[in-house]
Structure 1
Amino acid sequence: MKKTILIFLVAGVFAFTNAQDAKQLVADAIEATGGKKNFYSKGSVNYDLEYRTPKGENAITLLANETYLFNGERSYATYTEHSLTGANGKVVEGYDGTNAWVTFDGKLSSDEQANGVARFLRKTNYYWFSMFFKLLDEGVNHELLEDQKVTGKDYNRVKITFGDNVGDAQDTYVLYINKKTKLIDQFLFTVVGFGITEPSLMTYKYQTVGGIKIPAKRKYVQADWDGNVKGDGYTITNWTNIKFGAEADKGMFEKPAMAK
């Protein structure tokens, strides 16, 4: 009995130490990226989004101008192309921190699927932009994995999971933290909200705006959990014309009361 208790205690101490070491690596990465305080002090951001999946029958293209208010994680976008809805014109999505909505040519949609897509994109796009500064939020779990060398560079790896009540879906991430620069150079991720539980590998190039390193030129492809590429086509995402401190009144994120 005493031996069993000792084993549990040792295992508990190891797990705690592992998590603390992982969290410290993440904290160092956040500072290397520009610092959480500096990021949130910007208040808001506006930028242009380009998202394209590989060409084919089910290819997706999204072209939008995005605005986020960091207080309340509010999100708003106007689209010039939105192939998920089959619309190429005036599509507007908003999220007020609780509810999502979408209008087509100024008319508020009651379509359940369209509103579901709007909620997914509003929350997901905001998360992608602010992700690195949210990795120590309450409900985020951290696990230190074995180190790995990629293209001659040495990386610490940290597995990120989420508590049951954190977000709409509980994805898994594996961060590759460059031992030399402390930056997250790439990561593996799932998209459970769309039923994708096998990982994709996200790589990118940083752009510095207002002292914040932003992974603005991005691409991802199917991979395995060791980071080996398995897919043959990349999805690309580009963020351009990034401006912090953009004008963003809370009212713009609220669901319109009537068609405009």
Structure 2
Amino acid sequence: MKNYLLLVFVVVLFGCKNENSNTNTITTEAVTKALTADEIINKSIEVSGGEKFKKSSLKFEFRDVYYQALRKNHEFLLVRILVKDNDSIFDMLSNVGFERYDNKDFVKLEDSIAKKYEASVNSVHYFSVLPYGLNDEAVNKALLVSEQIKGKDYYKIKVTFSAEGGGEDHEDIFIYWINKHSFKLDYFAYSYNEGKEIGMRFREAYNERYVNGLRFVDYNNYKAEDAKFILENLGKVFENNQLELLSKIELKNIEVQLVDN
């Protein structure tokens, strides 16, 4: 049930090809000049899969919900499939907007409800492929002072979003810690404001694996109980064991196909 409608979209929009999975080999790079935030992000995206993200079909499960992301250059289709008994709800976000289907039937939603579903779908897909996406037009990057976490050196980059093109959650602020040796994203933190709820989260990457050349990780998801903590300082707060483990962000049954030009 969960596959029949997706197959239609895959056939119509994209032609996919399988390639043998390969693990990226990361080499140490001697940095002879100060790197900009853009250059650091570019290197981080490159070691995580680079241009392959732009031509890929991804499938994975997150908390017993099915997701698929189809990307081909500037076109994209992000899907969430909710399966219950014999019914399937398809939430689909693409270049043309957000749509929901109950099995094969289109569901008309109020704008406010549609925006919430759209943000929810986009959020899971956004986090699943980080740091890919950090070069979008609405992203603003600033290089902060480098720091150490658990004895390793990190570039520290602050990301904000422009109102235009930044989505419903454009006021959220992110901090990314990128390893100076491998250029991999090991930690990130963010602040959010959802109605009356204001808070911060800190995520620690683990369980790294490459699937068909694309890097995926799971995360330990921490919350900051003390309101006095500052978002930019959560790396040190984490190192001092002052954060509470809230949940684990785990992607399961990941499949990757690379899309023909």
* TM exceeding 0.5: yes
Task: Output the CA distance in 2 between the equivalents of 1:32 and 1:191.
Answer: 28
For residues 1-260 of structure 1, what are the structure 2 equivalents within 5 Å?
Answer: 21-35=36-50, 37-41=51-55, 43-50=56-63, 63-71=64-72, 72-80=75-83, 90-104=88-102, 108-112=106-110, 114-168=113-167, 169-170=169-170, 171-192=172-193, 197-205=198-206, 206-215=208-217, 217-223=218-224, 224=229, 225=231, 226-227=233-234, 228-229=237-238, 232-245=244-257
- The 1-side partners of 2:211 and 2:149 are apart by 27
Once residues 43 and 258 of structure 2 are traced to their aligned partners in structure 1, the CA distance between those partners, rounded to angstroms, is: 28
Per-residue Cα deviation, 1:105-160 (whole angstroms, up to 9, x for no partner): 66544453653332112222222223312212223211111122111212110111
Aligned partners of 1:154 and 1:127: how far apart in 2? 25
Could you tell me the percent identity over the aligned residues?
A: 18
> What is the letter of the counterpart of residue 40 of structure 1?
K
Measured in 2, the distance between the counterparts of 1:207 and 1:163 equals 32
Give the Å deviation of 1:195.
Answer: 6.0
The verdict on how the C-alpha distance between 1:139 and 1:183 changes in structure 2, with shifts beyond 3 A counting, is same
> For the residues of structure 2 that align with 1:135 and 1:94, how far apart are their CA atoms?
22
Q: CA deviation at 1:180?
A: 1.6
Q: Any conservation in 2 of the 1:78–1:90 contact (CA below 8 Å)?
A: yes
Q: 1:184 deviation in Å? A: 1.0
Q: Which structure has the larger Rg over C-alpha atoms?
A: 1
Give the 3 Å change call, closer, same or farther, for CA 38–109 of structure 1 in structure 2: closer
- The whole-number CA distance in structure 1 between the counterparts of 2:36 and 2:94 is 36
Stretches of structure 1 lacking an aligned partner (at least 5 in a row): 1-17, 51-62, 82-86, 248-260
Whether the 8 Å contact between 2:78 and 2:125 is mirrored in structure 1 is yes
Q: CA 1:246/1:64 → structure 2, altered by over 3 Å: closer, same or farther? A: farther
**Distance in 1 between residues matched to 2:117 and 2:257, nearest whole Å:** 24
The structure richer in strand per residue is 2
The total of aligned residue pairs comes to 210
Query: Partners in 1 of 2:197 and 2:76 — Cα distance?
Result: 25
Given that 2:212 and 2:257 are in contact with CA atoms closer than 8 Å, whether structure 1 keeps it comes out as no
- Relative to the length of structure 2, the TM-score reads 0.69
Query: Does structure 2 conserve the Cα–Cα contact (< 8 Å) formed by 1:69 and 1:75?
Result: yes
Deviations 1:143-190 (Å, cap 9, x if unpaired)?
A: 111122111212110111111212212121111011121111010113
**C-alpha separation between the residues in 1 aligned to 2:213 and 2:147?**
29
Q: Which structure is higher in helix share?
A: 1
Q: CA deviation at 1:29?
A: 1.3
Closer, same or farther: CA 70–234 of 1 in aligned 2, 3 Å: same
What letter corresponds to residue 132 of structure 2 in structure 1? F
SS of equivalent to 2:204: strand
In 2: Cα distance, 1:95 partner to 1:45 partner: 14
Measure the CA separation in 2 of the matches of 1:195 and 1:32. 39
Q: Distance in 2 between matches of 1:236 and 1:214?
A: 14
Q: Distance in 2 between matches of 1:176 and 1:212?
A: 19
- Indicate if the aligned counterparts of 2:37 and 2:141 stay in contact, CA closer than 8 A: yes
CA distance in 2, matches of 1:88, 1:128: 29
Aligned partner of 1:74: which letter?
L
